[in-house]
Amino acid sequence: ETILIEHNGVALPRREWPQKRLTGGDRIEIIRVAAGG
């Protein structure tokens, strides 16, 4: 499964996910890439 997380417009490497702390006003986008047809 391929997932991309973007924090305030910056893509986060997977290794940084556990350490990232969110604050009020942060913008998060979570994108899951799925095969389809």
Going by pLDDT thresholds of 50, 70 and 90, the confidence category of residue 37 is: confident
| Cα separations in angstroms, 6 against 36, 37 | 23, 26
Find, among 1, 5, 24, the residue nearest to 14 by Cα: 5
pLDDT at 6: 97
Mean pLDDT of 13-29: 96
pLDDT above 80: residue 1: no
Look up residue 37 and give its two tokens: 């047809």
Mean pLDDT of 14-27: 96
Question: Domain coordinates of the chain in residue numbers?
Answer: 2-33
pTM for the full model? Answer: 0.73
